[in-house]
Structure 1
Amino acid sequence: MKKKIVFIILVAISIFMCFPVIFLLAGSFMSVDELNSYLAPVLAEKSKGYVSWGLLPSYPTLRAYVELLFDTPEFFVMFWNSVKIVFLSVCGQLIVGIPAAWGFARYKFPFNKVLFTIYIVVMLMPFQVTMLSSYLVLDKLHLLNTHGSIILPAIFSTFSVFIMYRFFCNIPESIIESARIDGASELIIFAKIGIPLGMPGIMSAVVLQFLEYWNLIEQPLTFLKDKALWPLSIYLPNITLENADIAFTASAVTLIAAIIVFFAGQSYLEQGIAASAVKE
């Protein structure tokens, strides 16, 4: 009986937590008139009352999807901007972060712990703290108002190093020593043992960083002045009654990519979160 009660409570909480997604998907299939009737108290000028909402659309329509996907070229421009930023950022993080995490995890050198602590401190700093210094550096490098202003700082993200570091630390030392006795070089050990055994950590870092950079808002608004360079995450900064249907649809389409990546790497993501929770 207790298990059934706990199960019911968990299901209720899950539905409550998923309601924003249900709200979004339902709105993407509603007509403009139906959305106006629901959202007018918030979006219309000089309106009174409270917002109401139907869990399911009264008259489902795909008109907003057709208009967005076939008659909104700026949507695809921003979509490919997001793909470019995310792909280059994540690839750069792997190129820089994997060797860095391996070095911190497997080699003992002076100030190892101090440097890794600095890594963690940098990871804890919010963007608002480093925004001014980053802006000045990027200005000196003539990268402002280019995608490089987003990609270059992302390549040297400390969070992916932190996640992969935990997995590399868990590789048994006996395996490394056996490979050295057999004559394997440090590069071969890294490529043939470190990367394969640390792949769960690498993949969890990829998933987490994809979700982060797919949903960037502050960095593009700060460093990109040309709207043609904006990513999809800030495609609709202003929602009005006239474009409410497109806003819901664009948000739903944007969410699909994040959901696909999340479920594809869910097991790795869980391992990464669990590993990051383990104390040094």
Structure 2
Amino acid sequence: MKILVTGREGQVARSLAERNGAHELVFAARPDFDLADPASIARTIEATRPDLVISAAAYTAVDQAEDEPELAMAINGKAPGHIGRAAAAIGAPVLHLSTDYVFDGSGEREWREDDPTGPIGVYGKTKLAGEEALAASGATSAVLRTAWVYSPFGGNFVKTMLRLAESRDALNVVKDQHGNPTSALDIADALLAVADRWQTEPAHGANAIYHFAGTGSTNWADFARAIFAASEEHGGPTCTVTGIPASEYPTKAARPANSRLDCTKFAETFGHCAPRWQDSLGETVARLLG
């Protein structure tokens, strides 16, 4: 199967390149492919003529999106619709990545796919608009919402914590925001599992939204403690963590207090679930320190 992946250097794109075994992956990125340029999207998909499009690239600077709402909307909110229409024109389905930020973060239970959305910031609003644009595009598609993504690649919370621990003995980390830490390598495995299934059963479980995230939840402070515990096991830097309320760490964009995702639907539909987040974290930390 020929798969066109949007983006080249993002965490999920690089994870797909590493995890792929059976498929031909073609990565589309700037300058030739620009999510803010509908013409380049249509041109690239028509020229590549993939069997599947994985829409992995996005505008992910959550705070900066508050200052650049139009650019964030062009990339996150409108581009999925352009991708869907171009893919539909050649008969290719689309797998699209979305986010826990489409919810308002209220409550304490895990969010299900059919729960009401209510994003509280520009980033979440644009990602929700992208889901809706893809659904209206006419493409056969599926949306995977995920959360708290980290990997050995790019910039992410795990790498930031390890870097800070090299020069600090103590850190204050938010304790009242909860979610599922998710390895981009595990996301890549999930996307490839769908691709494999669609190769033998086209469009199985398509035209639906799914949640996929690391198994188990935690808060940012305990996540940081787990990072340092794993680092210490491998002789890496460690740090004392003090949990603080989010009110003591103000950011331009509000973050959901509850990002826990219920991933039952994806597991039941595709027979695949993520490992315990602690296990995937340990593997990533070992690689980063190796």
**TM-score scaled to structure 2, two decimals?**
0.20
Larger Rg, first or second structure (1 or 2) = 1
Q: Which has the higher strand share?
A: 2
